[in-house]
Amino acid sequence: MKIKLLFCALLAMLVIEVKAQQDSTFRTFKQGMAIYAEFGLLPNNKSMRDQLDRLNIKPFTSMMGSFVLARRMEGQKWFSEGRIILMNSTNYTSDKDVPKAYLGGLGFGMDGGPKLVNTSRWNVLIPIGVDVMFYRLKIRNNGSATLSQIVQNPGAYQPVKLFTRNINAHAGIGVDYKLNTRSRINDAVYISGKATYHLPVLGRRDWKSEDVTVSDLSNLKLNQVYLQLGLVFFPKNSGKMWHGMH
């Protein structure tokens, strides 16, 4: 089922690209850069955090947040974005001498879709896309030790690093508010927001170190609604006139 969803998402991205090229014929196709903050709207991974807590390891926070850098392309009827995602659900507590868990991730993806509304002030978008994500769980001692203790038992003070990965399909709705503020640098600036549901495609993925698979640690739960807020900048002279073949 999830493989079919991934196939459908990839097919949708191909259709979007073809439509975008058709839409760009004899029209200005704008290109810009976007900066977003993305947050999961519900607490997640409770079973995994409970496992860490039972081992006297301070778990990472329940909120999954990401910093997203994107390249926006848009015409009159379509838009697309290539994304770099820096994900973080770290541990902000100040406890000393207590092992702590830190969860982070790096991903690359794209999304795009039709514009349901395109006026001088508003865009209403249907974003559909896929992200390839790599996650790391790091467990640190977060304590202090003498030099002789470290020299005698260095392995006891090295962090544990576990890794997993997934492909996440997502779809939802987005809105751009066009500030229409022109400057020497930008032709336009948008305040942009999206609400999308993310669904892992590869299913349950085990945690692994360099050469060991962890058998009893809960899988990372990724499926939930994410809210994305940010700014889109269109630099001057970014438009390109594509003259397509009929």
pLDDT in tens, the chain (246 residues): 444 444 455 445 554 554 545 454 435 678 999 999 999 988 888 899 999 999 999 999 888 899 999 999 999 999 999 999 999 987 777 777 788 999 999 999 999 999 999 999 999 999 999 999 999 999 988 777 778 877 888 777 788 899 999 999 999 999 999 997 767 787 889 999 999 999 998 767 889 988 888 888 888 888 899 999 999 999 886 554 444 434
**pTM of the full predicted structure?**
0.80
Which of helix, strand or coil describes residue 23? helix
**C-alpha pair distances (Å), 38 with each of 152, 178, 196, 226, 245:** 44, 20, 10, 6, 39
Pairing state of beta strands 100-118 and 78-89?
A: antiparallel
Tokens of 7: 């196939």
